[in-house]
Structure 1
Amino acid sequence: MNQELHQFIVDYGLWAVFGGTLLEGESVVVFAGFLAHQRLLHLPSVMLAAFAGSFVADQALFYLGRRYREHRFIQRICEKPAFGKALSAIDRHPHGFILALRFLYGLRTVGPVALGVSRVSPLRFLVLNAIAAAIWAVCFSLLGHAFGRTIESMLGRLHGVETKLAVAAVLGVVIWLAYRLYARYRR
């Protein structure tokens, strides 16, 4: 069982990172960075998969907002309170908004759609989105890797895939709770 789970992570871990970053992916990338520290995944590959998923998701949402402004799905997004805040931030600081978008809680889906509806050119978004996705992927991958190093220094070398996954699951729950508390605090 242990070896099978290890091989499953090695074989499909990067696909999971890519898929996880198509949505809210911070915890997925931190977890993958932790697994890279445990030598189950390769850190530069984790960064590349995180970059690709994040970049593709935001590009797709940008073009959905640009092409289908009047569609029911886009109109529902436009009705969210965060959408108006995103548009006003885009008007004031379009470049800064694009670069900071991934680090702003609650704007992962709304932000790229708002950018698509705005006057930001597709080429400008493409370039700044690539830069932002690279920064984001490196930061969160390294955060997970550093977390692995910290846990290792506290607990000694972790043995067994189950132990690694248990620690990573705890990390995921902690990150999720931190986001929930931060969101509640912002309201």
Structure 2
Amino acid sequence: MQLEELLARYGLWALGLGAGFEGETVTVLGGLMVHRGLFPFLPAVLAASLGSFLADQTFFTIGRHFRNAAYVRKMSARPAFLRALAVFERHPVGFVFAFRFLYGLRTISPLAIGTTKLRASRFMAINAAAALLWGTCFVSLGYLFGQGIEAMFGRVRSVETLLAPLAAIAIGGYVVRNLMVQHRSRLKP
């Protein structure tokens, strides 16, 4: 089975999972696949939005029901957790809507919000709207980025030619980001 056939068959599932676990990079790659004609636009947006929504709902639920667990207590000691709570206290609805767009607060925020008194139904409604906007924005960026690549370099002949360098960049960025986080944690007393 060729890569294009695999992407056509399982790509939207992979996009949803990737959007939930990794976020923007995978979603932009999904937009590139829309540009290549491998995914339809609306299903790609819905897959990315659903993946993001479910991941954030999961972290919210963990914060809500396991706030005294070792993992949540460990996370609550992090500066990003405290920043998320501080911003949430000032602008609860706006923060729930915007956290997924804020670098450094994306993954810890739903966990932090889960420890507050915000109703789960309210979080779910705002989270759904925000996830849909987020999915639309980042799939669209990937789609438009695909047009930019073709304008600069001409039509890319195969998906492999497009995915290999983008995957290397995404993996490299992930590794560098993790190394920077580890380095910062070693510097703290």
Same fold? TM cut 0.5: yes
Tell me the amino acid that sits aligned with residue 112 of structure 1: P
Aligned pairs for 1:72-151 (under 5 A) are: 72-151=70-149
Q: CA deviation at 1:120?
A: 1.2
Unaligned runs of 5+ in 2: 185-189
The match for 2:29 is: 31
- Give the total of aligned pairs: 179
- Let me know the Cα RMSD of the aligned residues: 2.0
Q: Secondary structure at the match of 2:21?
A: coil
CA distance in 1, matches of 2:78, 2:86: 14
Structure 1 residues 25 and 172: alpha-carbon distance in aligned structure 2, compared to 1, 3 A threshold = same
The match for 2:64 is: 66
Is the contact made by 1:78 and 1:114 (CA closer than 8 Å) also made in structure 2? yes
Q: Secondary structure at the match of 1:153?
A: helix
Structure 1 residues 173 and 64: alpha-carbon distance in aligned structure 2, compared to 1, 3 A threshold = closer
Render the CA deviation track for 1:47-68: whole Å, top value 9, x for unaligned. 0110110001111111111111
Tell me the amino acid that sits aligned with residue 115 of structure 2: V
The match for 1:11 is: 9
Unaligned runs of 5+ in 1: none
Q: CA deviation at 1:29?
A: 0.3
Moved over 4 A (4+): none
Is the contact made by 1:24 and 1:108 (CA closer than 8 Å) also made in structure 2? no
Relative to the length of structure 1, the TM-score reads 0.88
Relative to the length of structure 2, the TM-score reads 0.87
Is the contact made by 1:29 and 1:50 (CA closer than 8 Å) also made in structure 2? yes
Tell me the amino acid that sits aligned with residue 78 of structure 1: S
Q: Secondary structure at the match of 1:59?
A: helix
Match among 127, 152, 157 for residue 159 of structure 1: 157
CA distance in 1, matches of 2:16, 2:54: 9
Residue 34 of structure 2 corresponds to residue 42 of structure 1: no
Structure 1 residues 167 and 43: alpha-carbon distance in aligned structure 2, compared to 1, 3 A threshold = farther
CA distance in 2, matches of 1:132, 1:54: 9
Q: CA deviation at 1:42?
A: 1.5
Q: CA deviation at 1:108?
A: 2.2
